[in-house]
Copies of this chain bind each other. A is one copy, B any other.
Amino acid sequence: MAKCFPIENSSTVIGIGDDAAVIAPSQENVVTSTKVFMENVHFDLTYVPLCHLGYKMVTVVISDLLGMNAIPTQLTINIGVSNRFDLKAVNELLDGIEACCETAHVDVVGLDLSTSRRDLIVSLTAVGECEPARLVSRKGTAENELICVSGDFAAAYAGLLLLEREKKVFEVNPNMQPDFTGKDYLLRRQLKPEPRLDIVEALRREDILPTAMTNVCDGIAAAIMLICQASDKGCAIFEEKLPMTELAFTTLKDLDIVHTVAALNGGDDYELMFTIKQSDFEKIKNVDNVSIIGYIKEKEAGCHLITGDNCQVEIHAQGFAQK
């Protein structure tokens, strides 16, 4: 491989080129997560450019570290390719991986290429670090604490629906050119989501320690269920507080999808959900792109969505996968 990855973090001791990567973490706790991405299971190359795919895969794997309030520092890459892919294709994928690593100040410290029978298979392992006092798990929230989420929801799902629709059109008529005018934001949210390192950094800056936290990969419903189950609590989420762009709202309406369902169960958002003490209410206002969407209740109250017309609807996690 001609590709050369720059080393940015002082904690990287040995990168690519030995039996294993060596790290000297500057914090006491080391956090690690691995994701495997398989063609035609996790991604569809008919509409996903390889460089965007690489970028998104890094966002996905480091979001699990951010979901522990940790700072990602290193990444190792394993790629299985068949003869369907030439060196240029592999380099495009690596360029995308490198771009997201640059955004998140993550060093690539391992790269292994092997053969696959047909499909492209990528496995990424992210390593990060955290002061033990700042580490936040899914467990630990208490009654009356505020439920916060970063960013907005349902846009990535709307983007996926548009791409899938155009794919079907293309299959019938290969001469059709897709028209995504004005939908850029939705496509970007689906194809090239950003890792929310800014939120984890802002929480440190504002000295806010969440009481429970998780990466929202499979929709708001799945995420709040993970926190409530781990913490033995219930919750109320307000439908009107779910952050969503006008563009996602109108696009989903055109597609005959209920926007609340898309926000709760759409997935692919890679935003963060965390709970904070009420005493942090003033501080959290200083963190951009965070919305308070509800509060924690006792376990017996269950998990409910409070609709615009003040109905209580029980929340079930219908997102893609329960961890």
A residues with a Cβ closer than 8 A to B are: 13-14, 17-25, 28-36, 38, 40-42, 64-65, 67-68, 70, 74, 76, 78, 80, 109-110, 112, 114-117, 119, 121, 123, 125-128, 130, 132, 135, 137-139, 213-215, 230, 321, 323
Contacts and interface: CB of A to CB of B under 8 A. Distances in A.
B38 A68 contact: no
B36 A30 contact: no
B32 A20 contact: yes
B29 A23 contact: yes
B115 A68 contact: no
Given A114-B41, A137-B14, A30 B35 contact: no
Contact of A41 (B68, B80, B126): B80
Nearest to A126: B20
Contact of A33 (B19, B38, B41, B130): B19
Nearest to A78: B36
A36 B121 contact: yes
Majority secondary structure, A binding face: strand
A25 B28 CA distance: 7
A126 to B, nearest CB: 8
Contacts of A128: 20
Contacts of A215: 19
Contacts of A323: 17, 19, 112
B112 A41 contact: no
Contacts of A40: 117
A13 B29 contact: yes
Nearest to A33: B20
B32 A32 contact: yes
A36 B36 contact: yes
Given A41-B115, A123-B123, A110 B20 contact: no
A134 to B, nearest CB: 12
Contact of A127 (B14, B19, B32, B321): B32
A321 B38 CA distance: 23
